Chain A
């Protein structure tokens, strides 16, 4: 379907260019909106599709912004309103008026109502929080660990850092790579089985945005500890406190940062 959206972009552009040439701002406005919608939908050709919610936000913003643009100058705004005024008030536009007011608008309203109330078997859209808030402290195998201000203790052992990294690498390939991938890009063997898919560690927008204490909490507690806003059922991350020791978790954290070239978020 997304293959056809570039055509919509072209149609919108054509309307816009002709309207600009004929000094018809209302139709230019329509053309611009079609172009923008087509562009947003066409993005799916080069990247994962934009979520519907984001498209709605962008389109609403564009409707608002361009309405403002076309009402800056008095003569442009008058020309912008002219088609609407003409259809609603001119004697010779009776047919268009009847079609628009008594057929098109009620039909459109009816369709919107129908679309809203028709039964759907799709699960509802849920808001996801990308950075769930961590607790102040956690219970790790009976030991209370304060997450606030927690630092990776192994980073201080500079003489043994290489050993820790090696151990972390081993732990990663024994436990994590099935989901998070051998290239740490979130494309492991089980990737296709999960929805949403496992996190990639590469790039600047996942672990690079997080302090190590946060990563420790996520690995130790997994999906069970996620707050309601992050929908625990949207994650398949196991609680690794059942399988790994505290030091082993820190070792694997060292490894994922080192292997991806990312640095943990720090405040000091």
Chain B
């Protein structure tokens, strides 16, 4: 019976994908014969909002869902693996809940993908023709792996209970699902990489070497950045789901479970986000290496303001994460001992936030410009990478300490060297912070190339070494520790859950704005330096316009993801009813 269920589920998934793709192809064929032909330079125009805005909205929605269905399986499988090895039913349940979420989200991802698949060749036939000429085989590989992923995904979901006794094999299927997802991500990143930092073609756009067209400057850094950002995003959505379920929970048991789920998801999200600045930095260096003008355009030119906005939003996310962890001390027996450290952590995060959001380019009235001059001495010093990198590393360090405090707050170490361990911990924190700050100050005195290629990586390296050392130290020190009391899961004020939702909404909006920036780096080129955009949309929209579009996309996305949440809840109720009948 269960075997039949798996077969039925997988066939359902494959049929659904085939139906969506089939509808897409038929629609494309029909529309091509109905709508007027493209202009001489290869464009059709979408009514009212224009082709660019239409493709922008659909592509971003598709990307958001794709990020979700690629990111969530990574930690669902991790949870399942941990649950299996530790024989922890709760971890298995959380993994299953996540799997339910992404399996349902696949349909919406595919629908958005199909709309994009129809829109692009219809509205930009010349550009898509070029892309197919250069990277055509990768598109067919994409379709193939998409089918593979859907097959594995549905098999993974529908075989969950059936393979309860063969967990190892089931985890392996989950790993295969992630491998498929990783390949899809690599394929799609190669398209964006080619558009932004093209290679393997002549100046007139003739293919010289397909592998070089795939393996561009941007390909691997962008893929890595997307991979980790997907996990951060997917876990963030799961945390928001848990927060929503916590707020609407009817029983104490439910509250406790969703509180724990929210905490676990949020910590995975934040844990992976620690890696993002480093990879983002690598991506930036690659863009500069490809084309300095594009680098300046993105970092210091037209998009300088977006970095300020990014700083405001990431600073807000960090603040909300710390807030969630600090509030969580309330539910830990013994947590009150650590409140005295919170004010110091607050000051560090606050100062880091001040530096991080300090703009280099400012909006000035004529009178202010007269009095200040072109460069304000304080803003000129704080608004540059040397200070900002330092501030973000120190803020992340404070966030890690908040996390460590939360984990140890209900425990007392019993090892004989506990006092020495506490001193060592303080030393690691102080020394690493002082060294990071020292390097930050020294960064002002060296050529840019030294700062970018040597000092900043050293700062990030010190940070990662320090948190690794702290993690190992705490693991050793708190092994067999005396437990003061178990965490009172579910005993959290509702405002903490709104913080989780706030983090996810902010992150989604930020993803949209950064996507606008990455895409805008190409300026008036479809393929930078190779194929010009000659459509009426070949101009950079104002940041305000971009913000309105990205906000619309974010609202649409959350409306759609809410429908996924609602479906999951309906499904649960239906299953419960069937069980009780």
Q: Which residues of A contact B (CB under 8 A)?
A: 43, 47-54, 57-58, 61-62, 64-65, 68-69, 71-74, 77, 122-136, 147-149, 186, 195-200, 203-206, 209, 211, 213-214, 227, 229, 234, 263-268
A266 touches B374 (CB 8 A): no
Contacts of A214 in B (CB 8 A): 296
B211 at the interface (CB under 8 A from A): no
A58 touches B354 (CB 8 A): yes
User: Which residue from A52, A71, A135, A213 sits with its C-beta under 8 Å from B365?
Assistant: A52
Contacts of B162 in A (CB 8 A): none
B373 touches A148 (CB 8 A): no
B293 touches A123 (CB 8 A): no
Q: How far is the CB of A28 from chain B (nearest CB, A)?
A: 13
Q: A48-B373, A195-B370 are in contact. Are A129 and B304 (CB under 8 A)?
A: yes
Interface residues on B, range: 35 or more
User: Which residue from A77, A136, A197, A229 sits with its C-beta under 8 Å from B374?
Assistant: A197
A148 touches B375 (CB 8 A): no
Q: A57-B312, A68-B323 are in contact. Are A130 and B357 (CB under 8 A)?
A: no
B296 touches A69 (CB 8 A): no
Contact residues of B: prevailing secondary structure: helix
Ordered by A's residue number, 12 sampled pairs between the chains whose C-beta atoms are within 8 Å are A47-B376, A51-B379, A69-B343, A77-B493, A127-B361, A128-B361, A130-B304, A131-B360, A133-B296, A198-B374, A266-B449, A267-B448
Give complex CA distance A160, B343 in Å.
60
B536 at the interface (CB under 8 A from A): no
Q: A72-B327, A130-B300, A204-B445 are in contact. Are A209 and B384 (CB under 8 A)?
A: yes
B277 at the interface (CB under 8 A from A): no
Contacts of A49 in B (CB 8 A): 368, 371-372
User: Which residue from A125, A133, A197 sits with its C-beta under 8 Å from B301?
Assistant: A133
Contacts of B300 in A (CB 8 A): 129-131, 133
Q: How far is the CB of B408 from chain A (nearest CB, A)?
A: 18
Give complex CA distance A73, B340 in Å.
12
Q: How far is the CB of A80 from chain B (nearest CB, A)?
A: 12
Give complex CA distance A234, B449 in Å.
30
Nearest 9 pairs between A and B by C-beta? A131-B300, A133-B301, A205-B380, A265-B448, A133-B297, A196-B369, A127-B363, A48-B372, A53-B363
Q: A131-B301, A209-B448 are in contact. Are A51 and B362 (CB under 8 A)?
A: yes
Give complex CA distance A132, B300 in Å.
7
B342 touches A265 (CB 8 A): no
A267 touches B377 (CB 8 A): no
Q: A51-B372, A136-B293, A206-B375 are in contact. Are A61 and B447 (CB under 8 A)?
A: no
A266 touches B368 (CB 8 A): no
Stretch at the interface among B246-254, B258-266, B284-292, B477-485: B284-292
B448 touches A266 (CB 8 A): yes
A227 touches B302 (CB 8 A): yes
Which residue of chain B has the shortest Cβ distance to A147 in the bound complex?
B293
B326 at the interface (CB under 8 A from A): yes
Contacts of A127 in B (CB 8 A): 305, 361-363
**For chain B residues 282-323, which have a beta carbon within 8 Å of chain A?**
288-289, 291-293, 296-297, 299-302, 304-305, 312, 315-316, 319-320, 323
A47 touches B380 (CB 8 A): no
A227 touches B301 (CB 8 A): yes
Give complex CA distance A211, B371 in Å.
28
Contacts of A195 in B (CB 8 A): 366, 369-370
B377 touches A126 (CB 8 A): no
Most buried by B among A43, A203, A267: A267
Q: A58-B354, A123-B366, A196-B369 are in contact. Are A68 and B377 (CB under 8 A)?
A: no
B445 touches A267 (CB 8 A): no
Give complex CA distance A186, B493 in Å.
56
A130 touches B375 (CB 8 A): yes
B292 touches A128 (CB 8 A): no
Q: A57-B357, A229-B302 are in contact. Are A148 and B291 (CB under 8 A)?
A: yes
Contact mask for chain B residues 16-60; partner A; CB cutoff 8 A; 1 contact, 0 none: 000000000000000000000000000000000000000000000
Contacts of A77 in B (CB 8 A): 493
Give complex CA distance A135, B292 in Å.
10
B447 touches A266 (CB 8 A): yes
Most buried by A among B288, B293, B300, B447: B293
Contacts of A126 in B (CB 8 A): 363-364
Give complex CA distance A147, B295 in Å.
14
Q: A53-B363, A195-B366, A195-B370 are in contact. Are A135 and B376 (CB under 8 A)?
A: no
Q: How far is the CB of B302 from chain A (nearest CB, A)?
A: 5
Q: How far is the CB of B444 from chain A (nearest CB, A)?
A: 5
A267 touches B293 (CB 8 A): no
Which residue of chain A has the shortest Cβ distance to B300 in the bound complex?
A131
Q: A61-B353, A267-B289 are in contact. Are A125 and B365 (CB under 8 A)?
A: yes
A196 touches B359 (CB 8 A): no
Which residue of chain B has the shortest Cβ distance to A127 in the bound complex?
B363
Contacts of A268 in B (CB 8 A): 449
User: Which residue from B293, B330, B346, B349 sits with its C-beta under 8 Å from A73?
Assistant: B330
A61 touches B358 (CB 8 A): no
B488 at the interface (CB under 8 A from A): no
A48 touches B371 (CB 8 A): yes
Q: A73-B330, A211-B292 are in contact. Are A234 and B361 (CB under 8 A)?
A: no
Give complex CA distance A22, B372 in Å.
42
Give complex CA distance A47, B493 in Å.
44
Give complex CA distance A195, B374 in Å.
9
Contact mask for chain B residues 454-487; partner A; CB cutoff 8 A; 1 contact, 0 none: 0000000000000000000000000000000000
A149 touches B374 (CB 8 A): no
Give complex CA distance A198, B369 in Å.
11
Give complex CA distance A131, B380 in Å.
12
B364 touches A51 (CB 8 A): yes
B378 at the interface (CB under 8 A from A): yes
Which residue of chain A has the shortest Cβ distance to B327 in the bound complex?
A72
Which residue of chain A has the shortest Cβ distance to B378 in the bound complex?
A47
Contacts of B559 in A (CB 8 A): none
A148 touches B363 (CB 8 A): no
B139 at the interface (CB under 8 A from A): no
Q: How far is the CB of A74 from chain B (nearest CB, A)?
A: 6
Give complex CA distance A206, B350 in Å.
28
Contacts of A200 in B (CB 8 A): 373, 375
Give complex CA distance A122, B301 in Å.
26
Q: A72-B323, A267-B449 are in contact. Are A196 and B363 (CB under 8 A)?
A: no
Known: A51-B368, A74-B330, A213-B292. 6 other contacts (CB 8 A): A51-B379, A52-B365, A61-B312, A122-B367, A124-B365, A129-B361
A196 touches B296 (CB 8 A): no
B130 at the interface (CB under 8 A from A): no
B574 at the interface (CB under 8 A from A): no
A234 touches B371 (CB 8 A): no
Which residue of chain A has the shortest Cβ distance to B379 in the bound complex?
A54
Which residue of chain A has the shortest Cβ distance to B339 in the bound complex?
A73
A234 touches B330 (CB 8 A): no
A199 touches B375 (CB 8 A): yes
B381 at the interface (CB under 8 A from A): yes
Which residue of chain A has the shortest Cβ distance to B305 in the bound complex?
A127
A199 touches B374 (CB 8 A): yes
B495 at the interface (CB under 8 A from A): yes
B302 touches A129 (CB 8 A): yes
Q: A73-B330, A211-B292, A265-B448 are in contact. Are A48 and B302 (CB under 8 A)?
A: no
